[in-house]
Structures are given as structure tokens and as C-alpha cells.
């Protein structure tokens, strides 16, 4: 009987202990849920503060670093106006902030000075056909928030040149711009494949191109997009061919300084908004119809449902401003470098994920 009483007492104590644990767990869970709810409310109520955004607004203009001159990507007309794929990204950021894509001051930068100019505060953002690498983020204290153009390194030769692959470049001279990933990629490729090609480097892109045009080199290497741009500006484009070989990955995109997460989010979501707009069928010609749409994805993008733009320091209609003033991603691509332009670059990897490419953006929700 004594044993039975002891067993019953032990079971009663165990039940009491389990009840106490359950009550404690419920209490902790309730506190956790309340804390998460409070944190979420605070996040929604307080926009991301950005020192750069504040400075841009006070100045009344976005300062954007661009290429000194690359057809289709960054070109300055005789009247001083700028145009191009990279230029349109600057215009999109300005549209999101000011509802005016013209509020941009462009600063032409060469390859050697582009990152130091950004890190030193000479420009607010860099949109200059630059490859995203870990080494660059570490060395210059910058961050690449998005890939606006998926590219790769290729080669251009004269059509009279018998070599039709870089593996056949033995004994040939190849022009390349110094201080670029292009130069290091080419050197590594030739070394790895036992190709006895000689790199002729120039500190400036114009000098490198001139060396090729003057016949001092048998081939020219750069990002494929840049090769198409340069070829389109030659006096006789048909006498030059961009070879199909691609020897590297070149994810190109804008860069901003590290330490300003709010500004990086703005740059990132400006690109994402343009990609999302193309995917859901919203363009500059149909933006007004989109404002009356009943589709949830469209309503979130245009700010009819929710005010997510305020969370990054922008207005609820920030994406509407971008699409109306600049266009969606597809419009920007086709207008500057697509099939109907002198460059005639196919979408390729830059088609949307559901159209054979890899351009993909998180949903605005």
C-alpha cells in the first residue's frame, strides 16, 4: 500500500509540473506574439531612414555616376542630355523620389575612378556597366543591390580574321581596358587553355578601342553588351563580328555606399518594381488602367492596397512614378539596346524568368 501511495503521489507531482510548464509556455508564447506584433507595427509605422535620401531631397537632384560614353547604355547628346540603359536607371530612381526623371546630375566616370568616386561621396549612386564582385564590395566599401543586366565576357574580331574562337587566338594580340575584370578574366582564360595570346592593355576604353580600330590588335575583349555597343559605333559595323564564345559571368548593376541600408533598399526595389511591372503587364501606356485594376499583385505594385513605399521613405505611388515616367524593365531594355536599336541585342538571360531568361524580382507585398 505504501508503494501505491508513493506512485500516486509521484504522478500527481508530475501532472502539476506539466501544468506549470504548459502555463509558462503559453505565457511566453503570448509575450512573444505580442512582441512580434509590436515590432511589426513599429516597422510598418517607421520608414527606413536614409542619410543619402535626405541629402538628395535637400539638394533637389540625384547625382549619378555613369560611363563617359557607351552607346545604348550611357550616351551624352550634343544638347547635353543623357540617354541609355544605365542612364534610365538613374532616371527611375529620380522618378521614384521626385516624380521627375529629369532631376539627375550625371557625372561621367572612367573605370579607374568610378568606385573611389562613389565611396568618397562624389556621387549618390553608380550606374555604370559595372560587374558585381565580392572583392569590389570589400575593397571599396560599396554594395551592389541588384543585377540590372546579366552579361558575360566575349570577343570581337574583324570578319576577315580566320579565328572564330578565342581558343584559336594563339599568336594574336587582344586589346583590353586595364583595371577591369575583363583584363583579369582574359589573362586567366588564355593561361588555363594554353593559348599564347598577348593582351594589349590601355587605361582608357577609348584608347583600347582605337588600338583595335588602328589594327594594333587582332581582337577586342569586353562584356558582350559593350562589344555590341562599340561595334554599332564603328564606321563599318559589318566588318566586325562578336563571337558566340562567353568566358565569364558578368552581373552588371548599380552600386551604392555601404552603411546606408535604406538607400540600398531604394536602389534595389526601383529595379524590382520595373521587373515586376513587366511581369504583371503594367507599362507606361497602361499605367492609368492599372490604378483601377482589381488584381491583387497590380494593386500592391501601384499602391492602391498598402503603402509599402513609405517603409523605404518613398510615397505610396513610387512604382507608378517609375513606370509612368521611365517604363517597365522590358520597355527600358528594348528602347536602349533591344532588337529595334542599332545594337540589336536579344533579351537572352535578361528575359523574364517565365520567358526563358533569369530576370526575376521578389513580389511587392
Residue in this structure with the C-alpha cell 488584381, named with its chain if needed = 295
Kindly state whether residues 107 and 163 are assigned to the same domain: no
Whether 252 contacts 223, CB under 8 Å: yes
How is residue 165 annotated by DSSP?
A: S
Whether 362 maps to a domain, the answer reads no
Residue 354 inside a domain? The answer is: no
Is 359 domain-assigned? no
Residue 34 counted as domain residue: no
In this structure, the answer to whether residues 267 and 224 fall within a common structural domain is no
In a domain, 212, yes or no: yes
Question: Closest Cα partner for 122 from 98, 142, 144?
Answer: 142
Domain with 257 in it: 51-150+252-346
Q: Assess whether 257 and 182 both reside in one domain.
A: no
Condensed to tens digits (0 to 9), the pLDDT of residues 27-45 reads: 333 333 333 333 333 334 4
Q: Is residue 145 part of a domain?
A: yes
Indicate if 221 and 183 belong to the same structural domain. Answer: yes
Same domain, 57 and 201: no
* CATH at 80: 3.40.190.10
User: Would you say residue 107 lies in a domain?
Assistant: yes
- Check whether residue 129 and residue 70 sit in a common domain: yes
What number of CA atoms fall less than 13 Å from residue 45's CA on the CB side?
6
Please identify, among 197, 219, 248, the residue that sits at the C-terminal boundary of a domain.
Answer: 248
Q: How many domains does the chain have?
A: 2
| Residue 227 DSSP class | H
Q: Report yes or no: 151 and 246 within 8 Å, Cβ to Cβ.
A: no
For the cut 80, the answer to whether the pLDDT of residue 22 exceeds it is no
pLDDT tens-digit series, residues 312-362: 999 999 999 999 999 999 999 999 999 999 999 999 999 999 999 999 999
Listed residues 194, 229, 248: the one ending a domain: 248
Q: Each residue of 54-85: pLDDT tens digit?
A: 999 999 999 999 999 999 999 999 999 999 99
Amino acid at each position: 500500500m505504501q508503494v501505491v501511495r508513493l506512485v500516486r503521489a509521484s504522478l500527481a507531482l508530475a501532472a502539476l509540473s506539466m501544468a506549470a510548464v504548459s502555463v509558462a509556455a503559453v505565457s511566453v508564447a503570448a509575450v512573444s506574439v505580442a512582441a512580434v506584433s509590436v515590432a511589426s507595427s513599429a516597422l510598418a509605422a517607421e520608414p527606413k531612414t536614409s542619410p543619402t535620401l535626405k541629402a538628395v531631397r535637400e539638394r533637389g537632384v540625384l547625382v549619378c555616376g555613369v560611363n563617359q560614353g557607351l552607346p545604348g547604355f550611357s550616351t551624352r547628346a550634343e544638347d547635353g542630355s543623357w540617354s541609355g540603359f544605365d542612364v534610365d536607371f538613374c532616371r527611375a530612381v529620380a522618378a521614384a523620389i521626385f516624380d521627375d526623371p529629369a532631376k539627375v546630375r550625371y557625372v561621367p566616370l572612367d573605370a579607374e575612378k568610378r568606385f573611389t568616386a562613389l565611396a568618397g561621396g562624389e556621387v549618390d549612386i553608380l550606374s555604370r556597366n559595372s560587374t558585381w564582385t565580392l572583392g569590389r564590395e570589400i575593397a571599396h566599401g560599396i554594395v551592389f543591390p541588384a543585377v540590372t543586366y546579366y552579361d558575360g565576357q566575349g570577343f570581337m574580331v574583324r570578319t576577315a580574321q580566320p579565328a572564330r574562337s578565342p581558343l584559336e587566338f594563339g599568336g594574336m594580340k587582344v586589346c583590353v581596358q586595364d583595371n577591369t575584370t575583363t583584363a583579369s578574366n582574359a589573362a586567366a582564360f588564355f593561361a588555363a587553355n594554353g593559348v599564347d595570346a598577348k593582351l594589349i592593355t590601355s587605361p582608357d576604353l577609348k584608347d583600347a578601342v582605337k588600338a583595335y580600330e588602328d589594327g594594333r590588335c587582332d581582337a577586342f575583349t569586353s562584356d558582350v553588351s559593350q562589344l555590341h555597343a562599340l561595334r554599332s559605333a564603328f564606321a563599318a559595323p559589318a566588318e566586325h563580328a562578336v563571337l558566340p564564345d562567353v568566358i565569364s559571368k558578368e552581373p552588371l548593376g548599380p552600386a551604392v555606399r555601404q552603411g546606408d541600408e535604406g538607400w540600398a533598399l531604394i536602389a534595389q526595389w526601383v529595379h524590382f518594381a520595373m521587373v515586376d511591372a513587366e511581369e504583371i503587364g503594367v507599362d507606361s501606356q497602361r499605367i492609368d488602367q492599372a490604378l483601377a485594376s482589381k488584381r491583387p499583385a497590380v494593386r500592391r505594385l501601384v499602391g492602391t492596397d498598402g503603402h509599402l513605399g513609405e517603409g523605404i521613405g518613398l510615397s505610396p505611388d513610387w512604382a507608378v512614378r517609375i513606370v509612368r515616367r521611365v517604363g517597365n524593365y522590358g520597355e527600358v531594355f528594348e528602347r536602349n539596346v533591344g532588337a529595334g536599336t542599332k545594337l540589336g541585342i536579344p533579351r537572352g538571360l535578361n528575359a523574364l524568368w517565365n520567358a526563358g531568361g533569369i530576370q526575376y524580382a521578389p513580389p511587392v507585398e
